[in-house]
């Protein structure tokens, strides 16, 4: 550098200054055969011996300074100086030899400055000057000669660098471009910048040259940057249009051929015909000019040179024949209607057969030219002349005619028989019917280039096709031209490059723009092979030519380097304390901590001839043995590798050098975390050994305890099983006993009423009734306990005045307390205590606590409801009694089911009350416990939350007790039909007996039987049990209420289930009433009569009120929907004289009997009566409007007789139409007067 000599350390990727030169200007260095370094430093010759590490400076001679150094192949050291002299340094004598003047006998020079020198292989020296070009100094004779010293324009040549590219061939960098000089032949070629040639030098001022190991030449220019001359790139000679007169005209090259003089003819689709003289290297272009001797058209699709004639086929402008010598058109043929004329002006292919017959392929068939008659004869390949794209004659004389839509025709001129080859996906066939070109190879196989199907090959021996496409090596399935070279390689042009199918390896190799092509896109049928082995191919940007023999094989192995290493996407710097100790270029092993297990690796292959063709494959041994292939990406990523040893391998997969064997390896070790290292495992082992000792002793000591615990567990499990069996048995009994209790309680009520005259009997009956009620309460408690235990007891939290609720409960138990002579007191706060509780559950909790207190108290019971503070989230109820003090050991035991205190002085309970109260309390998320005794009294403390997550605000309503008012049923009508459904015959008998005096009774034992009865009878009401076989009450209710034929029938559900959720479920399914067993017969009768009476009143209101809508009779959504649909049909057919039940049944999509029963059940009217009522109600609406006369209204509602209309109206509504209209008018007049007075006031 101008600032000294620097040493690059590849392992650390840094520079250090060479201490002997300091900051002196060092323009060049050389290494001799002994490994000594020679340099020019600050205009002085210096040397450095690496073995002895000695530095030496040589004094300048004659006041001149050295400008260049070269070391010949024989080891001689020559130095050139600024005065134009050349001297040899003699190391053994440690002195310079004689001085030789390089300008002694040359013409006078402006400057005698020698810029550079280069030792040649024959011991001569090339001398580059600043204004006299190149000289050669003979080291043996010590004479020199001028090689070349001026350019073509006679300007001097400034030489800067010599580069020997191969023996006796030198590239010379000058200010006038690059000269390629052959020392043996003295041939000289200049490479210079051409503004219209993008493939020329970018700048003529070339300062340096370098040849890489791949054979490419690098040229450093002053203004144009670095230029690269690829060895493979130079194999392709390019012909393309530019501003120069001596260039190819036209971009789209279609046809190429040579004449007998070895000159080249090129037909284009956009610029006519080109002639290229291979001797003079000159182009000439022919375009149509309207003259008789000019070509017919500039779009050329066919060329064929035959002796001194050139046949030219054009696009839609016929066929030309040119005289090659005069280069003038001598004949022109156009399409005509005569039999001996061409049938098309579009000529695409011309060949001459071995028999001398000229064949012309056109867009409308194949024609043969008769030279004697100078006319044409059509050769019929098909019924209609096919569009022939290309013609080819095989070695047997068969003519192959390819088309773009009809496959390929094989024509035998001898037999005049043609065979067509078409694509058939079901059998072995040609790959496509669009065939652009056909070719016969030296082994007589027929090759087909297809447009979209790839490449097909027909073996004439086996008659089988073999096809190639993108799936097995081709870059594209669009094939244009096929040729063969003298090495039997097949060359193929495609839409994505030039492909060679190598004869020896049978592999495809692709060439693209990266390899020196003008374009990757070639043109249809554009190719030619001459007798010298040169191949020509046309594309859309011109034409290329090459000789496959020039494609020299190389043993070059693409260098592959690792170029970067990143951890967590950050480049790792070289550091002694880091994972990368040296440059990644030279690193073969790297060790990473467990926190550095995510990393990236960069790599690059130093292939400069066609880097775009370079592909890579990598694998990480330790993860996978399979190779992963990459194209443009040169970075691979690994994330969170587990600790262990890995080997990263990468190799080059290169189209240019496909046999490159180099594999770059990098061994990677991911260390485990500290807690997974060997010393950590040693500590773990010691710890585990110690722990094992103590744990073993611990378990040994506990073994006896475990045996004891297992015995206790088995005992507890057995007790639990006994408890479950007991509770299940009692629950089942309690459920089953409720039905017999119904059969006892119902008749007993009747007997008590009838036995009022016998006081002794009444008292006994009351005792029986009381015990029946007690038995019922016991069954309910047992069922509630089971529901709470199995989480089936659902609570509904409503806002309750706790004090009021307690007062009611207190009142129910007061008589029992008085009968036992107990002091019974309730203390409630001054202000109301409100909380959200399940009222039914709260009453059960309080009742069980009071019942328990009354049962065991000696003399007094006190209930205290504490006043909660504003910020309290719960309230407390304390119940105290002075009974037997419960021991502390039994504080929790008393809440176990069926546990009873052994107090012989008191009657024992069932052991259900307190457990039930505890369960219900816990469902409230509250607590119930036995507190510490005070003043010799047992204290039970109940604490419940004030609020819950789900609360319902209900308005408290006064619910009347079972004082049911009997409803009158008109006996003059037929008795209503009631369907009873229950699987207990006794219940059916009991209810039947209670209702049969006022109702007709139908009976069914399950839901299936009930539905059959409903289908065949006009049922007015259904009473059903819930728990039944086959179809239970819920299912029956759902069917009834969702079926349009039955959903008008009211339904009452009977059940032994007392839970509120069971009632809600039934009502949600559409039940009209829900009655719990056991029930009062009077209550059941009252419910039945109430439901039927309400329906009767609604029907009566509809019938007698002129303006009442039919939907007022609906008691449910399904009924409302049915009635609205029915009314729409009635109103739409009021004037229809055929309106009857048959029409209604058809419109409603129901059977006539079903519709009759449904209308009768809902409205108590027959369909005919309903039609008449609807007509009269419509008439009332029209009368209310006041816009029609009475006779008009009668006609509008379907009455043909006004008198009949008036008579029916009076019968239905109690007044004539005239009276009704007047009544409406009188009612409106006061309102109208008020409106007029208001308007006057305003």
129 & 207 share domain = yes
Which one of 640, 660, 676 terminates a domain? Answer: 676
Domain assignment present for 194: yes
**Interval 957-979 mean pLDDT:** 46
Characterize 1101-1112 residue by residue with b for buried, 16 or more Cβ atoms within 10 angstroms of its Cβ, and e for exposed. Answer: ebbeebeeebee
Domain assignment present for 808: yes
**pLDDT tens digits along 407-447:** 999 999 999 999 999 999 999 999 999 999 999 999 999 99
Model confidence pTM above 0.95: no
Q: How far apart are CA 1127 and CA 1122, in angstroms?
A: 9
- Over the Cα atoms of the chain, what is R_g? 59
CA distance linking residue 549 with residue 364, whole number of Å? 41
How confident is the model at residue 486, as a pLDDT?
A: 94
Residue 485 has pLDDT above 90, yes or no: yes
CA distance 458 to 1169: 94
Residue 800 lies in a domain: yes
Confidence band, pLDDT 50/70/90 cuts, at residue 401: very high
Residue 1062 and residue 1012 share a domain = yes
pLDDT, tens digit (0-9, with 9 covering 90-100), for 1156-1191: 777 777 777 777 777 877 787 777 778 777 788 877
The stretch 1056-1071 carries a mean pLDDT of: 65
Beta strands in 607-708 (DSSP E): 614-621, 628-630, 635-638, 644-654, 663-670
The reply to whether 536 and 457 lie within a common domain is yes
Is 684 within a domain?
Answer: no
Which residue from 251, 313, 274 is spatially nearest to 523, judged by alpha carbons? 251
- Of the chain, the percentage scoring pLDDT greater than 70 comes to 85
445 inside domain: yes
**pLDDT grade, residue 955 (50/70/90)?**
very low
Crossing angle, helix 1217-1241 and helix 1202-1213, to 10 degrees?
70
Nearest Cα neighbor of 261 from 325, 322, 351, 331 is 325
Flag the least confident range among 265-279, 332-346, 774-788: 774-788
Sign (positive or negative) of CA dihedral 262, 268, 274, 277: negative
Domain stop point among 528, 550, 572: 550
pLDDT for residue 553: 65
**Confidence label for 970 from pLDDT (cuts 50, 70 and 90):** very low
Residues 131, 162, single domain; the answer is yes
Block residue for tokens 């009222």: 839
Cβ pair 1194, 1153 in contact under 8 A = no
Q: What is the pLDDT of residue 543?
A: 97
Kind plus residue range of the DSSP H or E element containing 447? strand 446-450
Q: Is the pLDDT of residue 1241 over 50?
A: no
**992 shares a domain with 909:** no
Sort residue 366 into left (φ over 0), alpha (ψ -120 to 50) or beta.
beta
Is it the case that residue 273 has pLDDT exceeding 90?
A: yes
Answer for the pair 172, 190: CB distance below 8 angstroms, yes or no: no
Of 127, 177, 136, nearest to 153 by C-alpha is: 177
What is the predicted pLDDT for the residue at 1233?
46
**Under 8 Å between Cβ of 824 and 813:** yes
**Looking at the DSSP assignment, which residues form a beta bridge with residue 798?**
837, 952
Q: What is the model's pLDDT at position 973?
A: 43
Domain count, the chain: 6
Closest CA to 1176 of 1088, 1085, 1108: 1108
**Helix, strand, coil share of the chain (percent; to 5):** 30, 30, 40
In a domain, 520, yes or no: yes
* Pairing assessment for the beta strands 570-571 and 560-567 based on DSSP bridges: antiparallel
Collapsed DSSP state (helix, strand, coil) of residue 907:
coil
CB atoms within 10 A of CB 756: 9
What's 1195's domain CATH number? Answer: 1.10.10.60
| pLDDT of res. 750 | 63
The rounded Cα 497 to chain-centroid distance in angstroms is: 35
Handedness of CA 715, 716, 717, 721 (dihedral sign): positive
947: its two tokens: 């609020």
Do both 914 and 1005 map to the same domain? no
CB 480 within 8 A of CB 436: yes
Phi and psi, residue 665, nearest 5°: -115, 145
CATH number (domain holding residue 546): 2.130.10.10
Question: Of 676, 693, 721, which one is at a domain's C-terminal end?
Answer: 676
Half-sphere exposure of 347 (CA within 13 A, CB side): 29
- Residues composing the chain: 1242
Do 535 and 564 lie in one domain? The reply is no
776 lies in a domain?
Answer: no
pLDDT per residue as tens digits for the range 191-225 = 999 888 888 899 999 999 999 888 889 999 999 99
Rounded distance between C-alpha atoms, residue 344 and residue 231, angstroms: 47
Residue 1114's domain comprises: 1105-1242
pLDDT at 483: 98
Residues 84, 61: Cα–Cα separation, whole Å: 13
**φ/ψ of residue 802, rounded to 5:** -60, -40
Cβ–Cβ under 8 Å, residues 411 and 398: yes
DSSP 359: E
The pLDDT, as a whole number, for residue 404 is: 92
* Higher pLDDT pick, 634 / 1220: 634
Q: Are residues 865 and 996 in the same domain?
A: no
Residue 920 corresponds to which tokens in the numbers above? 């219900």
| pLDDT tens digits, one per residue of 109-122 | 778 899 999 999 88
Give the range among 231-245, 393-407, 1066-1080, 1138-1152 with minimum mean pLDDT. Answer: 1066-1080
Q: Kindly state the greatest CA–CA separation across the chain.
A: 172
User: Alpha carbon of 1240 to those of 993, 1015, 1094, 1228, 1232: distances in Å?
Assistant: 71, 66, 48, 19, 13
Residue 937 token pair = 């009294």
Is residue 133 one of the residues assigned to a domain? yes
DSSP letters, 1095-1132, are HHHHHHHHHH-TT--GGGG-SSHHHHHHHHHHHHHHHH
Asked whether residue 224 falls in the same domain as residue 270, the answer is no
| Report for 536-545, 1055-1064, 1232-1241: range of highest mean pLDDT | 536-545
Whether residue 1115 sits in one domain with residue 1097: no
CA dist., res. 252 & res. 267, Å (int):
9
Classify residue 338 by its DSSP letter.
S
Q: What pLDDT, on a 0 to 100 scale, did the predictor assign at position 946?
A: 86
Are residue 1019 and residue 1164 in the same domain, yes or no? no
* CA neighbor of 435 nearest in space, from 404, 481, 459, 477: 404
The pLDDT of 963-986, averaged and rounded, is 61
Q: Based on the fold, state whether residues 132 and 147 are members of the same structural domain.
A: yes
The tally of CA atoms less than 13 A away on the side-chain side of residue 145 is 6
Strand partners of residue 509: 500
Q: Tell me which residue has tokens 């209308």.
A: 1159
Strands of the sheet containing 927-930, edge to edge, are 823-827, 860-865, 874-881, 938-945, 927-930
Q: What is the mean pLDDT of residues 391-416?
A: 95
Higher local confidence (pLDDT), 273 or 96: 273
Q: Which residue reads 């300062």 in tokens?
A: 207
pLDDT at residue 1154 greater than cutoff 50: yes
């Amino acid at each position: 550098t101008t600032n000294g000599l620097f040493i690059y350390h590849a392992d650390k990727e840094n520079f250090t200054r060479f201490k002997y030169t300091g900051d002196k200007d060092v323009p060049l260095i050389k290494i001799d055969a002994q490994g000594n370094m020679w340099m020019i430093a600050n205009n002085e010759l210096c040397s450095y011996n690496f073995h002895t590490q000695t530095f030496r400076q040589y004094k300048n001679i004659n006041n001149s300074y050295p400008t260049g150094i070269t070391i010949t192949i024989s080891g001689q050291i020559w130095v050139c100086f600024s005065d134009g002299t050349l001297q040899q340094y003699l190391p053994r004598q440690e002195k310079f030899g004689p001085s030789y003047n390089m300008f002694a006998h040359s013409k006078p020079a402006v400057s005698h400055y020698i810029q550079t020198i280069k030792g040649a292989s024959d011991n001569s020296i090339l001398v580059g000057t600043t204004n006299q070009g190149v000289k050669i100094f003979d080291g043996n004779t010590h004479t020199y000669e001028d090689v070349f010293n001026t350019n073509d324009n006679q300007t001097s040549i400034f030489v800067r660098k010599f580069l020997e590219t191969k023996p006796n061939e030198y590239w010379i960098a000058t200010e006038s471009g690059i000269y390629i000089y052959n020392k043996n032949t003295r041939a000289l070629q200049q490479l210079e910048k051409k503004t219209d040639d993008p493939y020329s030098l970018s700048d003529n001022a070339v300062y340096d040259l370098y040849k890489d190991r791949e054979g490419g030449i690098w040229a450093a220019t002053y203004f144009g940057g670095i230029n690269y001359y690829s060895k493979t790139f130079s194999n392709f000679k390019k012909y393309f249009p530019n501003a120069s007169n001596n260039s190819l005209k036209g971009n789209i090259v279609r046809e190429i051929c040579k004449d007998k003089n070895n000159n080249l003819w090129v037909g284009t689709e956009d610029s006519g015909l080109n002639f290229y003289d291979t001797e003079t290297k000159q182009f000439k272009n022919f375009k149509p000019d309207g003259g008789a001797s000019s070509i017919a058209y500039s779009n050329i699709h066919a060329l064929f040179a035959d002796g001194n004639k050139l046949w030219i086929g054009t696009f839609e402008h016929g066929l030309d024949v040119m005289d090659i010598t005069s280069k003038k058109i001598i004949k022109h043929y156009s399409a005509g209607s005569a039999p001996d004329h061409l049938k098309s002006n579009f000529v695409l292919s011309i060949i001459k057969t071995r028999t001398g017959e000229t064949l012309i392929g056109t867009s409308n068939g194949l024609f043969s030219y008769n030279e004697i008659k100078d006319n044409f004869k059509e050769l019929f390949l098909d019924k209609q002349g096919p569009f022939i794209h290309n013609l080819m004659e095989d070695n047997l004389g068969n003519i192959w005619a390819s088309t773009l839509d009809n496959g390929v025709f094989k024509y035998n001129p001898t037999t005049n028989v043609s065979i067509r080859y078409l694509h058939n996906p079901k059998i072995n066939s040609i790959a496509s019917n669009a065939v652009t070109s056909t070719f016969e190879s030296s082994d007589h196989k027929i090759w087909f280039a297809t447009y979209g199907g790839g490449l097909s090959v027909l073996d004439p021996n086996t008659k089988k096709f073999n096809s190639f496409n993108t799936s097995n090596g081709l870059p594209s399935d669009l094939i244009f031209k096929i040729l063969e070279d003298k090495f039997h390689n097949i060359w193929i042009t495609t839409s994505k490059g030039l492909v060679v199918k190598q004869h020896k390896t049978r592999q495809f190799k692709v060439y693209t723009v990266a390899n020196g092509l003008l374009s990757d896109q070639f043109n249809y049928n554009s190719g030619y092979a001459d007798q010298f082995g040169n191949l020509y191919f046309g594309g859309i940007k011109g034409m290329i030519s090459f000789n496959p023999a020039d494609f020299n094989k190389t043993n070059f192995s693409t260098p592959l380097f690792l170029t970067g290493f990143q951890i967590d996407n950050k480049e790792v710097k070289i550091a002694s304390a880091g994972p990368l100790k040296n440059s990644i270029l030279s690193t073969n092993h790297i060790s990473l901590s467990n926190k550095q297990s995510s990393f990236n690796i960069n790599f690059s292959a130093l292939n400069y001839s066609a880097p775009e063709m370079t592909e890579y494959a990598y694998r990480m041994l330790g993860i996978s043995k399979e190779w992963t292939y990459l194209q443009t990406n040169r970075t691979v990523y690994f994330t969170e590798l587990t600790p262990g040893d890995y080997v990263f391998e990468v190799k080059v997969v290169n189209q240019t050098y496909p046999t490159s064997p180099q594999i770059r390896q990098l061994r990677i070790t991911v260390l485990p975390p500290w807690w997974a290292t060997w010393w950590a495992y040693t500590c773990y082992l010691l710890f585990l050994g110690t722990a094992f000792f103590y744990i073993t002793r611990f378990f040994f000591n506990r073994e006896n305890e475990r045996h004891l615990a297992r015995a206790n567990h088995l005992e507890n499990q057995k007790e639990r099983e006994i408890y479950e069996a007991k509770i299940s048995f009692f629950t089942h009994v309690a459920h089953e006993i409720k039905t017999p209790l119904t059969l006892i309680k119902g008749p007993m009520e009747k007997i008590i009423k009838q036995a009022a005259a016998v006081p002794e009997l009444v008292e006994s009956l009351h005792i029986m009734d009381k015990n029946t009620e007690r038995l019922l309460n016991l069954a309910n408690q047992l069922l509630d306990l089971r529901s709470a235990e199995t989480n089936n007891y659902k609570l509904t939290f409503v806002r309750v005045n706790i004090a009021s609720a307690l007062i009611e409960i207190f009142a129910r138990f007061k008589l029992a307390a008085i009968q036992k002579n107990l002091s019974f007191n309730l203390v409630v706060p001054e202000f109301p205590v409100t909380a959200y509780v399940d009222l039914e559950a709260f009453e059960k909790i309080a009742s069980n606590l009071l019942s328990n207190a009354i049962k065991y108290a000696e003399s007094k019971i006190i209930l205290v409801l504490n006043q909660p503070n504003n910020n309290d989230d719960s309230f407390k109820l304390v119940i105290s009694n002075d009974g037997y003090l419960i021991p502390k050991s039994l504080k929790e035991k008393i809440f176990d089911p069926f546990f009873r205190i052994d107090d012989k002085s008191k009657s024992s309970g069932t052991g259900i009350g307190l457990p039930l109260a505890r369960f219900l309390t816990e469902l409230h998320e509250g607590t119930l416990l036995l507190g510490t005794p005070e003043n010799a009294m047992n204290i039970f403390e109940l604490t419940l939350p004030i609020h819950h997550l789900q609360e319902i605000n209900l308005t408290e309503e006064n619910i009347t007790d079972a004082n049911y008012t009997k409803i009158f049923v008109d006996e003059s009508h037929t008795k209503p039909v009631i369907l009873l459904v229950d699987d207990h015959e006794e219940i059916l008998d009991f209810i039947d007996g209670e209702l049969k005096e006022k109702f007709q009774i139908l009976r069914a034992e399950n839901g299936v039987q009930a539905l059959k009865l409903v289908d065949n009878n006009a049922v007015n009401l259904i009473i059903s049990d819930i728990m039944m076989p086959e179809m239970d009450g819920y299912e029956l209710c759902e069917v009834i209420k969702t079926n349009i034929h039955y959903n008008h029938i009211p339904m009452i559900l009977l059940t032994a289930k007392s839970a509120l959720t069971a009632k809600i479920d039934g009502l949600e399914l559409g039940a009209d009433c829900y009655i719990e067993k056991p029930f009062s017969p009077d209550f059941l009768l009252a419910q039945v009569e109430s439901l039927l009476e309400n329906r009767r009143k609604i029907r009566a209101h509809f019938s007698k009120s002129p303006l009442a809508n039919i939907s007022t009779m609906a008691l449910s959504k399904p009924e409302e929907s049915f009635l609205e649909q029915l009314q729409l049909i009635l109103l739409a057919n009021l004037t229809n004289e055929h309106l009857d039940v048959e029409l209604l049944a058809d419109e409603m999509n129901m059977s006539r009997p079903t519709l009759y029963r449904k209308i009768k059940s809902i409205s108590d009217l027959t369909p005919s009566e309903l039609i008449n009522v609807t007509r009269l109600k419509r008439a009332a609406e029209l009368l209310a409007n006041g816009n029609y006369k009475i006779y008009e209204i009668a006609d509008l509602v379907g009455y043909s007789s006004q008198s009949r209309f008036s008579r029916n109206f009076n019968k239905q509504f109690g007044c004539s139409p005239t009276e009704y209209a007047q009544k409406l008018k009188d009612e409106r007049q006061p309102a109208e007067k008020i409106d007029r007075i208001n308007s006057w006031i305003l």
